[in-house]
Amino acid sequence: MKAWLVWVKQSDCRSCCCYGLYLRTWIRTQTVSRPVTTHNADAVSTTTRRSILLLSFATFSSMCAQRICDAMLPELARVFTVSLAQAAQVVSVFAITYGVAQLIYGPLGDRLGKYRIITYGAFGCSVASLVAVFASSLDMLLVARFLMSLSVAGLIPMAMAWVGDSVPTNRLQEMLTRTGLGSTLGLVAGQLLGGLLTDAFGWRWCFVFMALLFTVVGTFLLNDLRRQRAALLDVTANAPQAAHALPPTQQVNFIKQAIGIITGPWSRIVLAMATVEGAVSFGVLAIWASHLHDRLGLSLTVAGAIVALFGLGGMMYMVFARALIAHFGQQGLVIIGGAVFGLCACVIAFTPNWLVAIPASLMSGFGFFMFHNTMQATATNMAPHARGTAVSLFSSFLFLGQSVGVVLAASLIDRIGSSAVIGGAGVVMALEGVFFAWVLGRREASGRSFS
């Protein structure tokens, strides 16, 4: 018996070894027909992967800062004795500032270096979060949120642009899922901690958490930025012809670049889609927790936790993203993603049982990120010659759409109710997925790349 067990263990080891050798051989057979230069061009270095990991920490912090106030809106309305629509200004002011600030960060990223902008933006948001901690009125809190948004606005778009500059095109959408994972986790943490910390300790502790988080993330980014500079200086010293690898410092005519991008027919479609997406998804998402709190009588902690499942659904997509991208393509991702999000939003809007909202929130995030990740990849390659400006414009339109969505949602709640607002947004998102899939199909049929 003992000898049999030993044989089985050895067989398992031999099987694993054989499978490993087979897998390595298979990978080599898949790449043997490629030229050596193509193989090297497709590789993503370890240092680049490490930087992308740190950028995912930055995108986590950024998204957390965006969503931290969603679940605390009813508490802010109570503390400052204002209506829910007035309290929602802490979300809309952030979104408006975020969108407008992209007009600054685009050219700054192209000129001064995207990683540098991300690093110092993190430290700036830490200081702004401390201002929010000591806010004594809603107006002062709005000022703090303005400063937070102004500091953090460059993190996600500049991270996307940096990845676009640093990895091969055929690996772009896959690598963007890494920074997207950080954004998704930030969405989860923002929604969850916003309700949990507000219920347990008070809303100010949410901003204490944000101040500490951005300080830690900023420190990691600063150390990596110094490493990048040292590595580039070493390369330049040993090979002067590699000086072009240094961060760009040339003068950038932002207005000329922006006009060139906006006037392009394909760019106009992408930016219009971003505006609608921001309004009907992120904009209306701000009232989901309040809807569950008011309509179903849930605590802010439970309501925030349910909405946080939206982010976990996005994480599910990130896990399967590579296979889904290969299987469905961009057209399939946007049409399925929009339909799933729309259906789940309608369920959340009209369900009388809060238990049903749990899987609906989870799957709505899965569907949304199927759509959004494709939009990100499309926007990142919208204008490769001015990637920082292009991605900043994309983010600007996305968050201007969010601000419009927050304002419209808050104003329509008193007239038609939160159920109709959320359900209507879901229908619009589903229709957008169908339309964008059709546009992508036409672009592909015309022989042009739709990435």
pLDDT tens-digit profile, the chain (451 residues)? 444 334 333 444 444 444 343 334 333 433 333 333 334 446 677 888 888 888 989 999 998 998 888 888 888 988 998 887 788 888 888 878 887 787 788 777 777 888 899 999 999 999 999 999 999 899 999 999 999 999 988 888 888 888 877 777 667 767 777 777 788 788 778 878 888 888 888 899 999 999 999 999 999 999 988 888 887 777 666 655 544 444 444 445 667 777 777 777 888 888 888 899 988 887 788 788 888 888 888 887 788 788 878 878 888 887 888 888 888 888 899 999 999 999 999 999 998 888 999 999 999 989 998 898 888 888 877 776 666 677 778 877 887 787 788 778 877 887 888 889 899 999 999 999 999 999 888 877 776 544 4
Decide if 151 contacts 125 (C-beta within 8 A).
Answer: yes
Through-space distance between the first and last CA atoms of the chain, rounded to whole angstroms: 60
Does residue 91 lie within any of the structural domains? yes
Non-local CB neighbours of 334 within 8 Å, separated by 6+ positions: 370, 371, 374, 375, 433, 436, 437, 440
Does residue 9 lie within any of the structural domains? no
Does residue 344 lie within any of the structural domains? yes
**How many other β-carbons are positioned within 10 Å of the β-carbon of residue 269?**
17
Q: Residue 329: left if φ>0, alpha if ψ -120 to 50, beta else—which one?
A: left
Does residue 89 lie within any of the structural domains? yes
pLDDT at 215: 95
Does residue 68 lie within any of the structural domains? yes
Decide if 332 contacts 227 (C-beta within 8 A).
Answer: no
Q: How far apart are CA 57 and CA 333, in angstroms?
A: 26
Non-local CB neighbours of 321 within 8 Å, separated by 6+ positions: 173, 174, 177, 373
pLDDT at 35: 35
**How many other β-carbons are positioned within 10 Å of the β-carbon of residue 327?**
10
Burial of 220 (0-12, 13-18, 19+ CB in 10 A): middle
Which of the 8 DSSP states describes residue 247?
P
Decide if 451 contacts 373 (C-beta within 8 A).
Answer: no
Q: How far apart are CA 114 and CA 50, in angstroms?
A: 16
The SS3 call for residue 181 is helix
pLDDT at 212: 95
Burial of 414 (0-12, 13-18, 19+ CB in 10 A): exposed
Among the listed residues 368, 337, 345, 367, the one whose alpha carbon sits nearest the alpha carbon of residue 292: 345
Which of the 8 DSSP states describes residue 246?
S
Does residue 10 lie within any of the structural domains? no
Decide if 361 contacts 313 (C-beta within 8 A).
Answer: yes
Among the listed residues 89, 188, 196, the one whose alpha carbon sits nearest the alpha carbon of residue 141: 89
DSSP per residue over 118-146, as a string? HHHHHHHHHHHHHHHHT--SHHHHHHHHH
- Which CATH number do you get for residue 266? 1.20.1250.20
Alpha helices in 32-113 (DSSP H): 36-42, 46-67, 73-79, 84-87, 89-112
Non-local CB neighbours of 155 within 8 Å, separated by 6+ positions: 58, 59, 61, 62, 118, 121, 122
Domain enclosing residue 66, as ranges: 47-445
Q: How many domains does the chain have?
A: 1
Does residue 34 lie within any of the structural domains? no
Decide if 315 contacts 184 (C-beta within 8 A).
Answer: yes
Does residue 401 lie within any of the structural domains? yes
Q: How far apart are CA 404 and CA 96, in angstroms?
A: 8
pLDDT at 25: 38
